[in-house]
Amino acid sequence: MAHVMEDVVVWREDVRGVYGVASGYLWLGKNYRDWNVTPNFSWIWKTTTQRKIQFFIWLIGQGALPTNSLRFQRHMAYSAKCSRCSTTDETILHALRDCPHSLEIWMRLVWVFKNGVVRLVENPGAEAMEGSRQGSRKKILVHTPSGEVMNSYAVLERKLSSLGWERYYDDPDLLQFHKRSTVHLISLPRDFNKLKSMHMYDIVVKNKNFFEVRDSM
C-alpha cells in the first residue's frame, strides 16, 4: 500500500517553504499597493520646494518610483535586482536607503544644529571615505568591543550571530544575514576578497556601537 503523505503548509516566497520576517517583508514590499489604504499626499504640493522634488516625493508616496522591482513587475525590465549593487531587488526602500551606494552617501552627510536651525552638511570624515575609494588606503572592519579585525566571513559570522543575526538563504550568489524580529538584511559578496567599504558601512549602520570601519595599518 502506497504511503500517503499529509498536506503541509508552505511559504511560497522562501525556497525552504518556511516563513520568515525578511521574506514576509519582501513580499509586502511587492504587494502593498493592493492594500486597501489611501493615504493623503496632498501636503506635498503645498511644500515650498521645486516642482521636480515635489513630484519625486509624490512618486515615493504612491509607490510609483520606477525602480527595477516595479519595472520587472510590469515587464519593463529583465531583472528586479538593483543595478548598482546587484545584491537584492531594487525596491524604493533599497534604492533610497539600504543600497550600499546610497548608504555611502548618507554616511557622508550629517545633521548640524546651529543657531536654532538644522541643516545637512558634509561629514568631516568624508575625505577619508573618498580616499579609500581612490585606493589610498584599504579599509578594514573592526569589532569594537573586542578590537578584533574581521579578516574572514567565519569570524564575521560569529560576531553577527552573537548579535542576533542568522544566515538567510535567499540568493545563492550572496552571503546574507537576517536579524531576528526585524526587517534588516545584510547582503555581502560570497568572495570575502570582494568585500568593499560600502558593505562594511552597511554592517556598521545596522549594528551601531559594535563595528567600526578603519584604515588598515
Query: 3-class secondary structure for the chain?
Result: CCCCCCCCCCCCCCCCCCCCHHHHHHHHHHHHHHCCCCCCCHHHHHCCCCHHHHHHHHHHHCCCCCCHHHHHHCCCCCCCECCCCCCCECCHHHHHHHCHHHHHHHHCEEEEEECCEEEEEECCCHHHHHHHHCCCCCEEEEECCCCEECCCHHHHHHHHHHCCEEECCCCCCEEEEEECCCCCEEEEECCHHHCCHHHHHHHHHCCCCCEEEEECC
For 209, residues 6+ apart whose C-beta sits below 8 A from its C-beta are 144
Q: Is 44 exposed, middle or buried (0-12, 13-18, 19+ CB in 10 A)?
A: middle
Q: Is 85 exposed, middle or buried (0-12, 13-18, 19+ CB in 10 A)?
A: buried
- Whether 117 has a pLDDT exceeding 60, the answer reads no
Considering the entire predicted model, what is its pTM? 0.44
Q: Within 10 A of 71 (CB to CB), how many other CB atoms are there?
A: 15
Give the residues across from 171 on adjacent strands: none
What is the average per-residue pLDDT within 112-135? 52
Residue type, 7: D
User: 125-159, pLDDT tens digit by residue?
Assistant: 554 444 444 445 688 999 999 999 999 999 999 99
| Residue 98: predicted pLDDT | 85
| Residue 137: predicted pLDDT | 63
| Residue 134: predicted pLDDT | 47
Average pLDDT, the chain: 78
